[in-house]
Amino acid sequence: MASVSWRRALFFLLVVNLSVLTTACSSHYGNAIEEFCLAKFKLDMEVLDQRQWCSWEDTVESYGELTNCTFLVALKMNCFWPNRMVDEFFIRVHRHYFHDCSMSGRLLHDPPNRILGPFIVVPILVTLLMTALVVWRSKRSEGIV
């Protein structure tokens, strides 16, 4: 019975310690990443034309620096990373800078007819050929026992 109360006390101490760490982070961590990380990212994005914001090749370096900055600030402030505040921060960044971008960074469209055509015609021809072969074979085997 004593081991159960010891485990409960240890669990309670762990939960209290984690909640103190996360509440300590939430009060200043958000301000720190806004001030230190987002400010540089905004400057980097202002250099680019808005049409280039969806180009991964043009934004990957700035985005990587933003991610690393949020990690380093969390490390310095003894916060967990990633955390809820980082998730919300990146959702705001994506809503502002990348809301018009598709998942691949390019607008999706059908391939040209020269590529799409064979993918349509070949299965149709194979189906017709196999049907003709089955009909021909069934008529030829009628006399065989």
The per-residue pLDDT for range 20-78, each reduced to its tens digit, is 444 457 668 888 999 989 999 999 999 988 888 888 888 989 999 999 999 999 999 88
As given in the structure block, the two tokens for residue 77 are: 């402030």
The per-residue pLDDT for 99 is 82
The tens digit of pLDDT for each residue in 68-102 reads: 999 999 999 888 888 888 999 999 999 998 887 86
In sequence order, what are the residues at sequence separation of 6 or more whose Cβ sits closer than 8 angstroms to the Cβ of residue 74? 25, 29, 80, 81, 83, 86
In sequence order, what are the residues at sequence separation of 6 or more whose Cβ sits closer than 8 angstroms to the Cβ of residue 145? none
As given in the structure block, the two tokens for residue 6 are: 């010891």
